[in-house]
């Protein structure tokens, strides 16, 4: 079979553009309306998309005066979306930072049961100072330390998902046997950050474990992703950068003893789609015109680790701290710094470029041009698929599903129907047996 794209819809409130909520094509009241999100899931499923995804953070942060908030906790919201869909995958962000692996493993196992095997976990380490302040931590937690905790966290969570073997549930009413206790295991983990006995109190779910997704792009982030992630979200602005990242992460996965194909790389794209290229550009400009500079400067200050809130809009960026001093999102810091210097942008021009997707590339054009661009990245070896980030919702997703998907399908680049029932299946990944399951071959050896 020819290689096909994987498409994830990265959903954010009423759209990714920071001014989306002010535009006439959106209704800000949708932010608290579960039906809005259920309709988005159904729309993604109509387009045969692999999955939908929500980002998350554990603080209000600097944006609340001039921008919208993600109101709902992602696993709760995706559970509501699971009840009105049958196929589309449901990926929730959850942190390894401030919670215990036992609690997280139980929530995802529950979502996987409820959705019939469609749960995915975007593993984040929570880089924000505002988040730290809600959990008794001062300042930004150290970058290396966050990834060390994340590594132990994922080891514990996956052991808990494995603690029930696939056939541990006996369900024999006649003998009164609910579970085969030989197949339900303690994990007895005792590490630097966590001490967990197990087993999990939720039996093994349809997929065994959720799809593991990650988005770190620093050196430690790429190693972490190469070791664990089955899908990787990344912000790459050019085909050349995309190809370099793709080759780098796949090579790292092979070094960790995995096959390069087990790791799907999905760069983000914010598509403005119009009947003509000019109309699409004009639409993008309408959103840019609604940007609040006060909000954008706060967001930029956070990305770059310097206070820009009083900086002149028509001046270039001031000198920035060296990357070694950045404890937050290192890869986004580098991306924004490179963008400003390579195109000699003033701060005003920079915030306009970042408005659509906070550093993810925006693309304005016809549906045909969007499809051409995705095909180019795919065929050049810069992507296995894409993280589609509609600038406004629901219209931006509707346009993608109704106009771009059929073109990709006609070109044989995307499925015309689901061929699997689980999220792992959509991403072409095999079911993983529990680590505690002894195979027949091992028994006879
Ligand atoms: C598409 C995408 C989505 C992300 N979603 C979240 C999120 O929901 N919450 C979060 O704390 N970080 C999120 N991140 C940030 C990453 O998890 C990671 O912290 C960031 O890429 C920096 O990693 P690095 O320091 O290894 O470069 C996201 C990143 C990308 C590219």
Pocket of ligand 1 (CB under 6 A): 55-57, 93, 124-127, 215-218, 220-221, 233-235, 268, 329-331, 387
Is 50 marked within a binding site?
no
Residue finishing a domain among 320, 354, 388 = 354
Residue 362, beta-bridge partner list: 270
As for how many domains the chain has, the answer is 2
Residue 370's alpha-carbon distances to 2, 98, 353, 363, in angstroms, are: 21, 39, 18, 7
Instruction: Report the 10 Å Cβ neighbour count for 155.
Output: 16
**Is residue 107 marked as binding?**
no
pLDDT at residue 440, as a whole number: 57
- Could you tell me how far CA 96 lies from the centroid of its own chain? 15
Residues 129 and 166 in one domain: yes
Assigned domain for 442 exists: no
CA of 328, closest atom in ligand 1: 25
User: Are 253 and 123 in a shared domain?
Assistant: yes
Q: Are residues 200 and 331 in the same domain?
A: no
Residue 443 lies in a domain: no
Would you say 95 and 125 are in contact if contact means Cβ atoms under 8 Å apart? Answer: yes
At 169, list the tokens.
């549930």
* Separation of CA 331 and ligand 1 centre (Å): 9
Residue 1 placed within a domain: no
Whether the link from the prior residue into 69 is cis, omega within 30° of 0, is no
The ligand 1 atom nearest the CA atom of 214? 17
In a domain, 433, yes or no: no
CA–centroid distance, 115 to ligand 1, in Å, is: 25
Among 8, 13, 55, the mutation site with the greatest number of ligand 1 atoms within 8 A of its Cβ is: 55
Same domain, 169 and 219: yes
d(CA 131, CA 140): 9
Neighbour count for residue 243 (Cβ, 10 Å): 16
Q: What's the domain range around 14? A: 6-274+366-427
Q: Which atom of ligand 1 is nearest to the CA of 235?
A: 31
- Give me ligand 1 centre to Cα 126, in Å: 8
Q: Do the strands 89-95 and 195-196 form a parallel or antiparallel pair, or are they unpaired?
A: unpaired
What is the radius of gyration, based on Cα positions, of the chain?
22
* Residue with token string 């065929």: 379
Collapsed DSSP state (helix, strand, coil) of residue 375: helix
Nearest to 93 by CA among 107, 113, 81, 83: 107
Q: What is the DSSP letter of 376?
A: H
Closest CA to 67 of 225, 294, 241: 294
Question: Residues 304, 260: one domain?
Answer: no
Same domain, 132 and 179: yes
Is 94 within a domain? yes
Query: Do residues 300 and 267 share a domain?
Result: no
> Any known ligand binding at 228?
no
DSSP tally for the chain: helices H, then strands E: 16, 13
Last residue of a domain, one of 354, 374, 399: 354
Task: Please list, in sequence order, all residues whose beta carbon lies within 8 angstroms of the beta carbon of residue 278, skipping any fewer than 6 positions away.
Answer: none
Whether residue 53 is contained in a domain is answered as yes
pLDDT value of residue 160: 98
Residues 311 and 178 in one domain: no
Same domain, 205 and 317: no
Residue 21 φ/ψ, nearest 5 degrees = -65, -15
184: in domain = yes
- Extract the tokens encoding 362: 């925006």
**Atom of ligand 1 minimally distant from the CA of 56:** 8
Q: Are 193 and 325 contained in the same domain?
A: no
Residues counted in the chain: 445
Per-residue pLDDT of the chain (445 residues; tens, 9 = 90+): 589 999 999 999 999 999 999 999 999 999 999 999 999 999 999 999 999 999 999 999 767 888 888 899 999 999 999 999 999 999 999 999 999 999 999 999 999 999 999 999 999 999 888 899 999 999 887 888 999 999 999 999 999 999 999 999 999 999 999 999 999 999 999 999 999 999 999 999 999 999 999 997 888 899 999 999 999 999 999 999 999 999 999 999 999 999 999 999 999 999 999 999 999 999 999 999 999 999 899 889 988 988 999 899 999 999 888 888 887 778 889 989 999 999 999 999 999 999 888 889 999 999 999 999 999 999 999 999 999 999 999 999 999 999 999 999 999 999 999 999 999 999 999 888 999 997 656 655 5
The answer, as to whether pTM is greater than 0.85, is yes
The Cα–Cα gap between 94 and 109 comes to 13
Instruction: Report the CATH number that the domain containing residue 122 is assigned in CATH.
Output: 3.20.20.30
Q: Within this chain, do residues 206 and 242 fall inside the same structural domain, yes or no? A: yes
**Which pLDDT does position 1 carry in this prediction?**
57
Domain end position, chosen among 354, 378, 408: 354
Q: Helix, strand or coil for residue 114?
A: helix
CA distances from 272 to 332, 384, 388 (A): 22, 21, 11
**CA dist list (Å): 224 to 133, 158, 262:** 25, 15, 14
Question: Does residue 217 have a known ligand-binding role?
Answer: yes
Domain-embedded: residue 436:
no
**Residue 250 burial (C-beta neighbours within 10 Å; 0-12, 13-18, 19+):** buried
Beta-strand pair 195-196/189-190: antiparallel
Residue 417 in marked binding region = no
Name the pairing type of β-strands 385-388 and 6-10.
parallel
Residue 147 half-sphere exposure toward CB, CA atoms < 13 A:
21
Cα separation, 22 vs 203, whole angstroms: 45
Residues 193 and 226 in one domain: yes
């Amino acid at each position: 079979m020819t290689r096909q794209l994987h498409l994830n819809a990265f959903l954010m409130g009423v759209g990714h553009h920071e001014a989306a909520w002010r535009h006439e094509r959106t209704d800000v009241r949708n932010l608290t309306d579960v039906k809005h999100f259920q309709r988005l899931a159904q729309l993604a499923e109509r387009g045969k998309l692999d999955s939908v995804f929500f980002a998350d953070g554990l603080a209000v942060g600097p944006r609340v005066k001039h921008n919208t908030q993600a109101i709902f906790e992602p696993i709760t919201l995706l559970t509501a979306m699971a009840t009105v869909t049958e196929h589309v995958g449901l990926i929730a962000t959850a942190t390894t930072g401030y919670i215990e692996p036992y609690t997280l493993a139980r929530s995802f196992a529950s979502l996987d049961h409820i959705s019939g095997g469609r749960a995915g976990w975007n593993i984040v380490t929570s880089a924000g100072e505002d988040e730290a302040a809600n959990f008794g931590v001062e300042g930004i937690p150290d970058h290396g330390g966050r990834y060390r905790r994340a590594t132990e966290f994922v080891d514990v969570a996956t052991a808990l998902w494995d603690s029930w073997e696939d056939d541990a549930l006996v369900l024999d009413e006649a003998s009164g046997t609910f579970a085969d206790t030989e197949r339900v295991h303690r994990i007895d983990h005792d590490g630097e950050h966590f001490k967990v006995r197990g087993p999990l109190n939720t039996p093994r779910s349809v997929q065994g474990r959720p799809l593991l997704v990650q988005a770190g792009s620093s050196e430690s982030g790429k190693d972490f992703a190469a070791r664990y992630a089955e899908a990787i979200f990344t912000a790459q602005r050019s085909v050349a950068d995309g190809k370099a990242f793709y080759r780098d992460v796949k090579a790292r996965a092979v070094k960790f003893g995995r096959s390069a194909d087990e790791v799907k790389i999905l760069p983000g794209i914010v598509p403005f789609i119009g009947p003509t290229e000019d109309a699409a550009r004009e639409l993008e400009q309408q959103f840019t015109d609604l940007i609040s500079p006060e909000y954008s400067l706060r967001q930029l200050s956070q990305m770059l680790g310097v206070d820009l809130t009083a900086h002149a809009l028509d001046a270039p960026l001031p000198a920035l701290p060296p990357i070694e001093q950045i404890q937050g999102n290192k890869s986004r810091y580098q991306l924004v710094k490179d963008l400003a210097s390579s195109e000699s942008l003033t701060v005003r021009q920079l915030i306009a470029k970042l408005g659509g997707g906070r550093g993810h590339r925006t693309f304005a054009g016809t549906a045909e041009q969007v499809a051409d661009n995705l095909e180019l990245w795919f065929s050049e070896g810069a992507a296995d698929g894409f993280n589609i980030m509609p600038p406004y919702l629901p219209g931006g997703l509707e346009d993608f599903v109704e106009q771009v998907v059929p073109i990709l399908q006609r070109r044989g680049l995307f499925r015309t129907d689901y061929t699997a029932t689980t999220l792992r299946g959509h991403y072409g990944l095999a079911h993983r047996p529990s680590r505690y399951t002894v195979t027949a071959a091992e028994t006879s050896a």
